[in-house]
């Protein structure tokens, strides 16, 4: 699963407490979310967890070749077997989201995209248990799946604190939703923006979010 718009937007948008010290990237893949977060916060140490062996090796290679490698760890485990050593100030994930769709013939892509190996309920339960009181839990999902996730999360101790609805452009409907949950109940911060303002021209909001991560910006 290569770098895509979803990951770049989430890594740039995800709220992080300035005092955050510990983090976890669930389903690290290439490691892009982890790398973006440690670039944003110089005090943050993050563990990437990745179940798929090839993706785990890719995260490991990218971490080892990073200037922030002292603050990066990756483990090849399912989330259900991972027990953090302390409470987490930041959890981030671009999680599997296909619930009833047909499986991809490529087994590794199927594992990355389907909730069979990690359900929304398991993800929420993990965050409930391991998130610190000041911690943030951020993720991105397609619109329909985001509504399912929010309904499940509403039965937990997590509170939706920020949400961003994303349109590919002004002529298309919302197709992605970024959400940030926490233990503290706050007034919901909500926004809607487009990725592109015109053909192959990124919007001002996209530029504002990602300018520190693209070489041409």
Q: What's the whole-number mean pLDDT along residues 19-31?
A: 95
Task: pLDDT band for 99, please (50, 70, 90 cuts).
Answer: low
Q: Residue 155 forms beta bridges with which residues?
A: none
Does position 104 have pLDDT exceeding 50, yes or no? no
> Which numeric CATH code is attached to 5-157+174-184?
3.40.50.150
Q: Is pLDDT above 70 for 112?
A: no
Residue 96 scores a pLDDT above 50? yes
Residue 132 pLDDT exceeds 60: yes
Query: 42-55: per-residue pLDDT in tens?
Result: 999 999 999 999 99
Average pLDDT over the chain reads 90
Boundaries of every domain in the chain: 5-157+174-184
The token duo for 80 is: 């259900």
Residues 6+ away with beta carbon under 8 Å from 114: 96, 98, 99, 101, 103
pLDDT band at 97 (very low <50, low <70, confident <90, very high): confident
> Confidence band (pLDDT; 50, 70, 90) for 200?
confident
Q: Give 169-180 pLDDT, tens digit per residue.
A: 999 999 999 999
Q: What percentage of the chain carries pLDDT values higher than 70?
A: 88
């Amino acid at each position: 699963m290569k770098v895509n718009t979803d990951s770049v937007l989430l890594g740039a948008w995800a709220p992080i407490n300035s005092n955050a010290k510990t983090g976890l990237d669930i389903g690290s893949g290439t490691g892009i979310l982890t790398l973006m977060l440690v670039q944003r916060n110089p005090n943050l140490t993050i563990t990437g967890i990745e179940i798929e062996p090839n993706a785990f090796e890719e995260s490991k290679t990218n971490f080892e070749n990073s200037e922030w490698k002292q603050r990066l760890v990756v483990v090849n485990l399912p989330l259900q077997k991972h027990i953090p050593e302390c409470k987490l100030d930041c959890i981030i994930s671009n999680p599997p989201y296909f619930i009833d769709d047909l499986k991809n013939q490529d087994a590794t892509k199927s594992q990355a995209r389907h909730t069979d190996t990690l359900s929304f309920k398991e993800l929420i339960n993990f965050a409930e248990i391991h998130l610190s009181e000041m911690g943030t839990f951020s993720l991105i999902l397609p619109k329909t799946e985001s509504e399912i996730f929010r309904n499940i999360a509403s039965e937990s101790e997590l509170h939706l604190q920020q949400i961003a609805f994303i349109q590919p452009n002004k002529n298309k409907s919302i197709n992605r939703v970024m959400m940030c949950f926490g233990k503290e109940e706050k007034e919901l911060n909500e926004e809607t923006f487009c990725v592109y303002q015109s053909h192959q021209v990124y919007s001002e909001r996209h530029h504002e979010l990602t300018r520190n991560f693209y070489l041409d910006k």
